[in-house]
Amino acid sequence: MSPAQYRRERKARGTQATVAALLGVQRETITRREAGEVEITREMELALLALPKTQPAKPGKPERQR
C-alpha cells in the first residue's frame, strides 16, 4: 500500500488522531506513514483496513484544512 492509498483509507475512517487511538499508536506515526517516511507493512495495512469506515462527508462540504 502506498502512502497516498494509506492516507485515502485513513481519511475514510477518521482523523489522524482518531485512527491513531484506535490502532494504539501516536498520531505522529500516522503522519509518518502518510508522508512515506516509514514503510507501510502488510500488517499495518490490514490493521487500518480492519477499522470501520465512518460516515462519508456531505457532498459539497470541503474537508477542514490543517
Question: Whole-model pTM above 0.75?
Answer: yes
Tell me what percent of the residues of the chain surpass a pLDDT of 90.
Answer: 80
* Residues ≥6 apart with Cβ < 8 Å to 45: 1, 6
Block residue for cell numbers 494504539: 24
pLDDT score, position 60: 56
pLDDT score, position 6: 97
Cell of 20: 491513531
Question: Model confidence over 13-37: pLDDT tens digits?
Answer: 999 999 999 999 999 999 999 999 9
The alpha carbon of 38 is separated from its chain's Cα centroid by a whole number of angstroms, namely 14
Is a pLDDT exceeding 90 seen at residue 58? no
Average pLDDT, the chain: 89
* Residues ≥6 apart with Cβ < 8 Å to 44: 1, 6, 33
pLDDT score, position 49: 97
| Rounded CA separation 44/55 (Å) | 22
